[in-house]
């Protein structure tokens, strides 16, 4: 699904593009306090989960994108697994959103409910998420 700068993967190939971008920098099986980041010498930021799951995180993303020159951000859910989402909710949990569309696009991705089941939305079901900018900085 695409529109307004938000791109939600409709198939495995599109989701794999999001997943690969994130897992190039983050080990999806590790959780803090173990270090989940796979690259050295790059800037990383850690936010509490409840900050990531709503509109209040948008100003943080906008500021980071501005500093690092990101054209988009990519978010994927790492817990529950993407296969859990596909099997039980009919979609793969991730999205890309252009940084100039973060105001509405970020919440649109978090609240996406393809089966009209509110409980399936990322913001309500995800236990762990990873977010990166397009520059990977």
Mean pLDDT computed over 62-89: 93
pLDDT for residue 8? 93
Mean pLDDT computed over 75-101: 93
**What does the alpha-carbon distance between residue 17 and residue 34 come to, in Å, rounded to a whole number?**
26
Helix (H, G, I), strand (E, B) or coil at 92: coil
Q: pLDDT tens digits, residue range 71-82?
A: 999 999 999 999
What are the residue boundaries of the structural domains of the chain, listed by start?
A: 2-133
- pTM metric for this prediction: 0.88
Label residue 23 by pLDDT band (50, 70, 90): very high
**Nearest-10 Cα torsion for 74, 10, 78, 101:** 30
Mean pLDDT computed over 35-60: 75
* pLDDT for residue 50 is more than 70: no
């Amino acid at each position: 699904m695409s529109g307004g700068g938000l791109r939600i993967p409709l198939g495995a190939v599109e989701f794999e593009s999001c997943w690969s971008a994130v897992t190039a920098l983050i080990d999806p099986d590790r959780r803090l306090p173990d270090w989940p980041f796979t690259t050295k010498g790059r800037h990383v930021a850690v936010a509490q989960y409840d900050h990531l799951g709503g509109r209040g995180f948008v100003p943080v993303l906008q500021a980071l994108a501005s500093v690092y020159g990101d054209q988009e951000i990519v978010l994927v859910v790492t817990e529950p697994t993407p296969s859990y989402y596909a099997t039980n909710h009919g979609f793969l949990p991730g999205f890309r959103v252009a940084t100039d569309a973060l105001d509405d696009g970020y919440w649109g991705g978090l609240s996406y409910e393809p089966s009209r089941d509110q409980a399936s939305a990322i913001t309500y079901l995800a236990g762990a998420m990873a977010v990166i900018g397009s520059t990977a900085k």
